Amino acid sequence: MDKRKQYLEFWRRFLAQILGPILPVLILCHASAGWAGEPSISNADIEPFVHWLLDDGERLEDVRFAEIAETVSGYKVLPVDTTKTVDGAMLRHLQGSLDAMLLELAKAENPIHAVGRVNEISRHVEDFLLSHLNAAEGYECTIPPNATGRVQRSGYPDLRLFHTASGRVFYIDPKVYKLGSETSSFRSFYFEPKLETNKILDNASHLIVGIAHTGKVEGHWQLDTWKIVDLINFRVRLKAEFQASNRELYKDEAVLGESQ
């Protein structure tokens, strides 16, 4: 077994046998989601796991996102095939909507110019695409529900484009970035695999829509260009970390003293 497969197998067995459903990194133990109980974790249990994390040579540095999405959801990640009539039509519909978005959001009276931070732009982009993609005959664009059936705006993916005649689905995740930062190493894509809040519920193509901006000029955001990226061969890495909330951190029994 090669080292990558060995690491994947270690994670699967460790998470299934020790942590079960309590750790959010469920990509490697999807098959054990039915495990019940909450065993205590001893030093002997946790020690080999920590050693794996400390060994940089064994980290998950180069994994196809499609493999992760399929493992988490049970649904296939499909490539966009522009030689197929439906795929070509859906792609053109998305491209036309992105062109219309740049024109609409450039208007001086558009509410996008009232927001102060780049992070707030994304909601305006999503809302426009949601409306415009859904308005065309033969298409439905919605916010994907999660596995419990609840419509959820947060989390990947942001939009679900459905071709009504064929049943073909594109998942679309818009991202706003600074023009010229395409080669930056800053992390810009996050995917937290969970079962109940999983929003991948179709065999579908997965697309990132990147919208480049050049900042705010005289009170107006400048959205300049767009790119559509097929995630079929997109590769990601796992950042493993141990987390706790303030509720766990500031427990009364652990506090040694506090100001009066």
pLDDT at 41: 53
Full-prediction pTM beyond 0.85?
no
- CA dihedral of 166, 72, 233, 8, whole degrees rounded to 10: -150
Residue 202 has pLDDT above 80, yes or no: yes
What token pair was written down for 88? Answer: 């070509």
Q: What is the mean pLDDT of residues 161-177?
A: 95
pLDDT band at 102 (very low <50, low <70, confident <90, very high): very high
- Beta strand 220-230 with 205-217: parallel, antiparallel or unpaired? antiparallel
Three-state DSSP at 150 gives coil
Instruction: State the Cα–Cα distance between residues 78 and 84, nearest whole angstrom.
Output: 13
Helix axis angle, 85-105 to 121-135, nearest 10°: 130
E strands, 180-245, in order:
205-217, 220-230, 235-236
Beta-carbon contacts of residue 48 (< 8 Å; ≥ 6 apart): 10, 14
Q: What is the mean pLDDT of residues 229-253?
A: 85
Compute how many other C-beta atoms are within 10 angstroms of the C-beta atom of residue 150: 9
List of long-range contacts for 162-166, beta carbons under 8 Å, 24+ apart: 163/86, 163/89, 163/90, 163/138, 163/139, 164/138, 164/139, 164/140, 165/86, 165/138, 166/86
Fold for the domain defined by 73-236: ECO RV Endonuclease; Chain A (3.40.600)
DSSP 8-state assignment for residue 49: H
Three-state DSSP at 216 gives strand
The more confident residue out of 231 and 2 is 231
Instruction: State the Cα–Cα distance between residues 128 and 121, nearest whole angstrom.
Output: 11
Max CA distance (Å), the chain? 72
CA distances from 48 to 37, 166, 195, 240 (A): 22, 49, 26, 14
Instruction: State the Cα–Cα distance between residues 154 and 152, nearest whole angstrom.
Output: 6
Three-state DSSP at 89 gives helix
The more confident residue out of 41 and 104 is 104
Residue 193 has pLDDT above 80, yes or no: no
- Please state the length of the chain: 260
- Beta strand 205-217 with 169-178: parallel, antiparallel or unpaired? parallel
pLDDT at 6: 52
Phi and psi at 169, nearest 5°, equal -125, 135
Q: Which of 29-43, 108-122, 225-239 is least confident?
A: 29-43
Percentage above 70 pLDDT, the chain: 76
Map out the domains of the chain as residue ranges.
3-61, 73-236
Instruction: State the Cα–Cα distance between residues 199 and 145, nearest whole angstrom.
Output: 6
* Average pLDDT over the chain, rounded to an integer: 80
Condensed to tens digits (0 to 9), the pLDDT of residues 11-56 reads 555 444 434 443 434 333 333 333 334 445 556 666 766 666 666 5
